[in-house]
A and B are shown apart, each in its own frame.
Chain A
Amino acid sequence: MALAYPVERAARSTGTALSKGAFWFGTVFIVTIIVALFLITADRGTDLGWPAAASLVLVLVAGVIVRLPLGRHPFVIAAAAAIALVGVASSTLMLLSRVDSNAPADTIVFTFVKIAVIMFGLVAGRYVNPIVAIIVAYVIAELPVTALSLATGHPYSFDVATSCAFVVALAAIVLLDRSRARARVTSARLQQAATEDREAIDRDLDAMSSSALVHDTVLNELAVVATIAPGELTERAREQIRRSVELVSGTAVTEETPDFVPLTDATATERAPSLLEPTIADAASSGLTVVANGESGALSALAPDVVAALVLAVRQCLANVMQHAGVTSCELTVLSTASDVCVMVIDSGAGFDEETVDPDRFGLRNSVRARIVAVGGSVQIWSAPGAGTSIAILVPRA
């Protein structure tokens, strides 16, 4: 997942959200005035409510038009502007005729209508230049009220609230635009970090995977060559060296099962019950008796790469028992739950303190733990000098 919402997409989302908010803002203002007019009409028993309300509905219709998808067309926006102009002018005329001639043109009723029109301008601004849309809306709202007030003898009064709404709407657009420009820098930085992080983690996983592979093959064969007495190699040893060389040179990072046959879903399932048997047999041929129990068929529920990592990790655990535990037998148990499969390798041998293991001992760290972590699993180790060792390998089901 990316850390920051892409700037261009954020601009679209913010524009849409702003227009939705502005629409409801304007709508509530118009509806409020209509309700207020009816309350006044009911209180005084006059005929003020209906005609003025009808005019204000025209303003509301203009808002609805620019809010609809067809509001993207310039001629539709122009038509909505004309409807709003007629609505503002007619409602102003009707209301002015009912109020005292000394009342200025900045009464709260007119202010609410003007602010609503400015908000509808903001709605239209998602398809046209928003600054132009807000300025045009301000003119549509203010011009008829001021002109008709003066024409009907009402004193002129600068409408502070409407002007504030106009300035706030403009400021919101400008500030969002400026902030977005600044956001581009940070957004790019976050995107770059995400890319670099993936490369870095891939590199670490490659190194761990490669280290496990080299440890299980090349280092093993070099140890054999370094420790055997000079003379002719057995055919089995030659074959083992060839297979190790072939495995390391033939694959970059992917690992294969111990018998070097790539697993597919089908083969993994088919061979699942016996997947650990070659490893157990290899250990037996080297003098380690492995008492296996539990649900060996549980491995059939695992993904091929998980099976491969698990089998290789178990093989390393058995190799550690043979080399370090000082015992000739161990226990291997396979358990499963709805979400995981657990393989435990338990011996009653010498045990060890993991904190004191030399840094150049890679068996447990890379060939077991790193390999299992790389496929989404985890490894737990219980051991103490003289108290044996239990290793639990937990891997997720496919």
Chain B
Amino acid sequence: MARGFGTRVLGLRIITQSPQQLDPFGGVIARVLVIVGVSASILVAVVMSLLSAGQVSSPQLQLAAIGAITAAGLFYVYASSPFRAPFGMREHAIVCLLTLVAVVLEALAQLGTNTLVRDDWAPIAAAILTLTLGSFRPPWEILLGAVITAGFIGWVTLLTAGSLQADVPPAVFALLESMPVLACGLAAAAFSRSLVRDLTEWKAAPFALPVEGVPWLASHRALAEEQALPFLRAIAEAPAVTTADGERARALSRELRALMILDDEATWVSRLVVGANDPLRLATALTSDQRGCLRAIVNHVRSSADFESARLELNFLTSATVAGQAECVLVISAEAARSTRVQLAPFAAIARTVFADAAITFAPDAVSCVFRFDVASAREVRAPRPSASSPYSVP
């Protein structure tokens, strides 16, 4: 059982994070289901509209209803893109609102002429869209959205039940119309809750990486051990220091300093991308997740056949727009491959979670990745010299 699973609000444990926030990569997989679900909902709307054309009193409103559900679906696909992750509450609300607009328009299109509830497509389309939310929003929010949508559908059905043919109470129509959305909402919420629980447990567990490192010695250290230390040992045991010893000490000192400069400049950034530009050492402020994400993108580009002739440029700059933040700009110069976007999608989703902000733009000859990260806490800030007697306050 994951400790700290959710947040307590008024005695109830509320899960505030979505599976996508905890595992952005899972959101990339789930988006495939979103595309399928949206396609299915639009197909259902069109096919069932044609099949029940006899019950439609206003084809214009029916078309508008199809337009509304199409807009809801297309917006859902757009907003759930890994390049815009994570899918937020505002986006969820917009999808719900557009769906409700479709419900109302469909009801108005069949006002007075609707004879069967089973061929009303808007509640089914709404249910399909709700079902695919499980990976993108926390359970309470999915359930709340489903209850509101189902309640609204039931209410609209009660208002328009007069023309329905079956000899049952209007409440039964309302129940049968609204339940698919509620069932899908409950299913998606249960799915979300189960995933969040597992992901929280995984995040809380200690993580150990396999040890694969090979022995390594900095070049200045090698020189010190191979030449400087034997020299100093000899000096310590010699009866006296000669002029030649002094010359040799100066030469060794120069070589050691030169190698120490080279070692100092050979950071992980310069080893990752040759020619990487980070004069202010901003990369030291990156977290391990941010470094891992950046490295994974570079590794993928280097090993993927689609980026065979790609050239990489990596620059670190202080942000011109946000104080206390810096930008890591990775430019991949390559011929546009058809699958470039698909290949980078998982990394984009992760980057948007681990960095303060991440934007990937595609041009015909280059892909630009701009990742913003905080540096205020990691960089020393130049400030007026404090008085020796002034009380020191820890930031």
Range of interface residues on chain B?
35 or more
- B104 at the A interface (CB under 8 A): no
B266→A382 contact, CB < 8 A: no
Cβ contact of B299, chosen from A14, A21, A193, cutoff 8 A: A193
B213 contact set on A, CB distance < 8 A:
199, 202
Cβ contact of A233, chosen from B233, B235, B267, B296, cutoff 8 A: B235
B381 contact set on A, CB distance < 8 A:
380
Cβ contact of B235, chosen from A14, A175, A225, cutoff 8 A: A225
* A201 vs chain B, min Cβ distance (A): 6
Q: Who on chain A is nearest to B182 by CB? A: A28
Q: Of A3-11, A87-95, A129-137, A320-328, which binds chain B? A: A3-11
* A222 vs chain B, min Cβ distance (A): 4
B368-395 vs A, CB cutoff 8 Å, 1 = contact: the mask equals: 0000000000101111111010001010
Can you pick out 8 interface pairs between chain A and chain B where the beta carbons lie within 8 Å of each other?
Answer: A24-B186, A168-B128, A192-B299, A193-B293, A208-B264, A222-B256, A226-B246, A232-B239
- A82 at the B interface (CB under 8 A): no
B169→A43 contact, CB < 8 A: yes
B386 contact set on A, CB distance < 8 A:
382, 390
Q: Who on chain A is nearest to B377 by CB? A: A378
A245→B236 contact, CB < 8 A: yes
Measured CA separation A246–B271 after assembly (Å)? 32
> What is the number of residues of chain A that contact chain B, defined by CB distance less than 8 Å?
114
- A313 at the B interface (CB under 8 A): no
A40→B264 contact, CB < 8 A: no
Q: Which of A30-78 contact B (CB under 8 A)?
A: 32, 35-36, 39-40, 43
Known: A206-B216, A249-B225. A382 touches B392 (CB 8 A): no
For the A-B complex with A25-B183, A28-B179 known, give 17 more contacts whose Cβ atoms are closer than 8 Å.
Answer: A17-B194, A24-B187, A39-B175, A40-B168, A197-B288, A197-B292, A206-B216, A207-B264, A210-B218, A214-B224, A215-B260, A218-B228, A223-B253, A230-B243, A340-B394, A373-B284, A387-B385
A21 contact set on B, CB distance < 8 A:
134, 186-188, 190-191, 194
Cβ contact of B212, chosen from A5, A193, A199, A241, cutoff 8 A: A199
B23 contact set on A, CB distance < 8 A:
4-5, 10
A5→B202 contact, CB < 8 A: yes
Q: Who on chain B is nearest to A18 by CB? A: B191
Measured CA separation A388–B256 after assembly (Å)? 30
- A356 at the B interface (CB under 8 A): no
Measured CA separation A359–B183 after assembly (Å)? 67
Q: Of A142-150, A302-310, A330-338, which binds chain B? A: A330-338
A192 contact set on B, CB distance < 8 A:
296, 299
B89 contact set on A, CB distance < 8 A:
none
Q: Of A179-187, A258-266, A272-280, which binds chain B? A: A179-187
* A292 vs chain B, min Cβ distance (A): 12
B229→A249 contact, CB < 8 A: yes
Measured CA separation A66–B75 after assembly (Å)? 37
Cβ contact of B199, chosen from A5, A16, A180, A378, cutoff 8 A: A5
- A316 at the B interface (CB under 8 A): no
A40→B29 contact, CB < 8 A: no
A189→B296 contact, CB < 8 A: yes
Known: A32-B179, A189-B300. A331 touches B232 (CB 8 A): no
* A202 vs chain B, min Cβ distance (A): 7
B221→A210 contact, CB < 8 A: yes
A223 contact set on B, CB distance < 8 A:
249, 253
* A208 vs chain B, min Cβ distance (A): 8
Q: Who on chain B is nearest to A16 by CB? A: B194
- A22 at the B interface (CB under 8 A): yes
B264-298 vs A, CB cutoff 8 Å, 1 = contact: the mask equals: 10111001100000000000100011011101100
Q: Who on chain A is nearest to B180 by CB? A: A29
* B338 vs chain A, min Cβ distance (A): 16
A2 contact set on B, CB distance < 8 A:
207
B216 contact set on A, CB distance < 8 A:
203, 206
Measured CA separation A9–B299 after assembly (Å)? 24
A381→B380 contact, CB < 8 A: yes
- A383 at the B interface (CB under 8 A): yes
Measured CA separation A221–B241 after assembly (Å)? 13
- B311 at the A interface (CB under 8 A): no
Q: Which of A101-144 contact B (CB under 8 A)?
A: 106-108, 111-112, 119
Q: Who on chain B is nearest to A180 by CB? A: B29
A227 contact set on B, CB distance < 8 A:
246
B210 contact set on A, CB distance < 8 A:
195
A111 contact set on B, CB distance < 8 A:
118
- A151 at the B interface (CB under 8 A): no
B179-211 vs A, CB cutoff 8 Å, 1 = contact: the mask equals: 100111011111111110011001100010110
The 10 closest A-B pairs by CB, nearest first: A200-B268, A28-B183, A193-B296, A21-B187, A21-B191, A17-B194, A25-B187, A382-B385, A225-B249, A226-B249
- B242 at the A interface (CB under 8 A): yes
B36→A193 contact, CB < 8 A: no
A18 contact set on B, CB distance < 8 A:
191
Known: A171-B36, A198-B209, A226-B253. A17 touches B190 (CB 8 A): yes
Measured CA separation A14–B241 after assembly (Å)? 74
Cβ contact of B256, chosen from A36, A108, A219, A245, cutoff 8 A: A219
Q: Of B65-73, B93-101, B346-354, which binds chain A? A: B346-354
Cβ contact of A211, chosen from B190, B264, B296, cutoff 8 A: B264
- A244 at the B interface (CB under 8 A): yes
B198→A1 contact, CB < 8 A: no
Measured CA separation A340–B296 after assembly (Å)? 35
B131 contact set on A, CB distance < 8 A:
25
Measured CA separation A136–B40 after assembly (Å)? 24
* B117 vs chain A, min Cβ distance (A): 7
- B25 at the A interface (CB under 8 A): yes
* A18 vs chain B, min Cβ distance (A): 6
A382 contact set on B, CB distance < 8 A:
382-386
A166 contact set on B, CB distance < 8 A:
none
Q: Who on chain B is nearest to A178 by CB? A: B32
A265-298 vs B, CB cutoff 8 Å, 1 = contact: the mask equals: 0000000000000000000000000000000000
- B33 at the A interface (CB under 8 A): yes
A335 contact set on B, CB distance < 8 A:
392
* B374 vs chain A, min Cβ distance (A): 14
A369-398 vs B, CB cutoff 8 Å, 1 = contact: the mask equals: 000010000111111100110101010000
